[in-house]
Structure 1
């Protein structure tokens, strides 16, 4: 069986973090706690590890995983451009439950799947997640569950679904609220023409950050509710 480390115990935390770093370095998968739900993580820059993540969840390459980062500044290294409205979102909601989709930095050598040239990025809250990301760098992370099943809110939930496809499980108790991150698409703010005044931020998935909270930061740049898609 793959080991489960209780990160609420300082000695187990140190051992678990060491094993998790080693697993990521080998291209294996780990399960880690975040402020939303538990995530299954892989080295974002290892195509084989990312494919292993997709296989473990039963997902295709048409459902590429988001990337978690440990600092706000890392966003500019992963995204082609960070428009001023996105900077406002980052200041308001990171670390926290908001995932932002932007055009990816063209120079990046990675393969997250069929991303259409974009990357979905989030900086999570939580000591375990941020300390791990500080040591590993960006991680491809998706909710720790089989596709079609509810997202895991504990390490044991994740272990029941993912089993030995994951090398290390980091347990930090029940997720704080068990609500997945809100995902917004801000690609049009980068890709718009100079004369295009219709560029807006679209909500792709409702989650931990409410529409009202986004509206307070973005104002009219948030696409009206009746136009949102159901993705």
Structure 2
């Protein structure tokens, strides 16, 4: 009974620590600026987030799940007897490998269920290959510290199905690190801006096409003018 009471006090304390706070607009620069992030509570709600590549994500936006980038291996051991004299048992191990998302988990990022799961040391259930190319809607945007309040923030997206149904037994998905999920291609934003590396690659490809006369000089110069700001302004 004492243990149950202690657990209840701990859970209520954790829920209180994640009290609601709303930030109208958050940028990647804010998440790295100690003068800003040191005053932000864990679990603060965000209405609009501007990523490191200046893409804007708002509550209510539709995004697409890309491809999983992690492998999950399950190993099972079987004990079998061979022959009519049953001289003994032989253990066999069979492994199966499935692709899972590294940054997208099933369920919400916080709350009583997640706290209890964490305390019982259960592994998180990551989304799998069956959800690739799924259109989802951003239901919530949350931000958390990478440790204490003196640590930078990271941004979590809570995603729901477009038709309001659940992802199997789960109502929501959580993108546990938005920047890394974008960088890895696990989430794809609508009207996503080209990165500096992508702009350079596209310009190099255009130069090669011009060299073999599959693109004329005027088309190349127009593309170069369009891509130059992306190449020069991003570090």
TM-score (norm 2): 0.23
Larger radius of gyration between Structure 1 and Structure 2: 2
Structure 1 or 2: larger strand share?
A: 2
TM-score (norm 1): 0.23
